[in-house]
Structure 1
Amino acid sequence: MKNILIINGHPDKESLCYQLAKSYKTGADYARANCELIHLVDLDFDPILRYGYRKRTELEPDLLDIQKKISAADHLVFVYPTWWGTQPALLKGFIDRVFLPKFAFAYRDNSVFWDKLLKGKTARLIVTMDTPKWYYKLIYRSPGHNAMKKGVLEFCGIKPVKITSFAPIKTSNPEKIKNYLLKVEKLGKQLK
């Protein structure tokens, strides 16, 4: 049985991202996956890595629990909006606090290389944005997608990382929204 952890990084429970995360879970539940949905807004943690890596900041119980869930997961699904080209502050703070050295990666002594401690896992990014996809890719060069895929997940050994983007949301009519939700539910059913 595949273990899937869905992480909704949108701080508003009335958002499209909230609905998309629920749709993915509906599909994964239908496929009989062991699936859990976490809304970051429900967790109790300080999103600021107060001392960088100079000094250890103790993890709150919710973050210790989520590290266990990430370790147990075969597939991670991140659902979030693109704001100012990348992810919201809540998701960025979560990454800063959770994807730490000795959990997600380990620097090698006297080397520029590192060990990827989350190998064997796959991921899907489900991202909403108001910028048209072609503009985000050609003009902005997909900064948020690259940061999550290459700068975080692949850096820690998670591969492949697939991306599903929905845009522009602000001009999407109810029929388009319904199709987005059905597409994400289908991804959940396929456990992708």
Structure 2
Amino acid sequence: MKTLVIYTYPNRKSLNYAFLQKVIKGSKENPNITELQILDLYEEGFDPLLVFNENKRRRDMYRDPSLEKYRNQITWADKIVFVYPIWWGRPPAMLMGYIDQLFSANFAYRDKKGLLPDGLLKGKSVVCISTMKGPAKYPLLWLNNAHKVLMKKALFNFVGIKKVKFFEFGNMESPKGRQTKKLEKVYQYFKKVEQ
């Protein structure tokens, strides 16, 4: 299983970075994970801004040469792992800019007659590891699970990815946030996951 990890946090001395390290450690100890690539969007200097004008059209994003490296990573991967914080009930703008540009028509999906498109990323699986300052039940109770609905239904299911797992950790700035236990949970998952 080829695994692509997309890390989106601007500080390497952070809990998010610790989660990234547990993903890497568990993956390297898992015989089912044969290859591993890490994409740190901040370190990469990824430009999240969409630009559309007379020379750059939205319908041509699927063949934009500046995004070819990232399209190749997604095509290559069997499993895509996202590590990011939840800010204002959703992933950070940097990650959303990546999604806006990479999960484009004629690469991630193809329009067809009917309500839903043809998802072109079928057969892949996704894991979302997210942290937040607020309580773990906040997205469910106050936001009607907006984060999970956004990521699973509006994005991944739309492009054909049906297998989506969430690790959504709350209270991460609290001394009682059980950070060590949650880090271990992520490590154990990646050490044993099959597909």
Contact preservation (8 Å) 1:119, 1:157: yes
Deviations 1:48-83 (A, max 9, x none): 12229646457464x321211111111111111000
TM-score by length of 2: 0.87
Relative to structure 1, is the Cα distance of residues 68 and 137 closer, same or farther in structure 2, using a 3 angstrom cutoff? Answer: same
Aligned to 2:51: 50
Percent of residue pairs bearing the same amino acid type: 32
**Structure 2 unaligned residues grouped into runs of 5+:** none
Deviations 1:63-122 (A, max 9, x none): 3212111111111111110000000010000101111111100112x5443110000011
**Structure 1 unaligned residues grouped into runs of 5+:** none
1:140 aligns with 2:140: no
CA–CA distance in 2 between the matches of 1:179 and 1:17?
14
Q: Report the AA paired with residue 184 of structure 1.
A: V
Secondary structure at the residue paired with 1:20?
helix
Aligned to 1:121: 124
Aligned mate of 2:166, from 163, 170, 185: 163
CA–CA distance in 1 between the matches of 2:71 and 2:142?
36
Name segments (4+ residues, structure 1) moved above 6 Å.
none
CA–CA distance in 2 between the matches of 1:77 and 1:40?
13
Secondary structure at the residue paired with 1:21?
helix
CA–CA distance in 1 between the matches of 2:153 and 2:175?
29
Q: Report the AA paired with residue 15 of structure 1.
A: S
1:151 aligns with 2:154: yes
Contact preservation (8 Å) 1:44, 1:60: no
CA–CA distance in 1 between the matches of 2:174 and 2:147?
21
1:12 CA drift (Å): 2.1
Aligned mate of 2:179, from 160, 177, 185: 177
TM-score by length of 1: 0.89
CA–CA distance in 1 between the matches of 2:74 and 2:88?
27
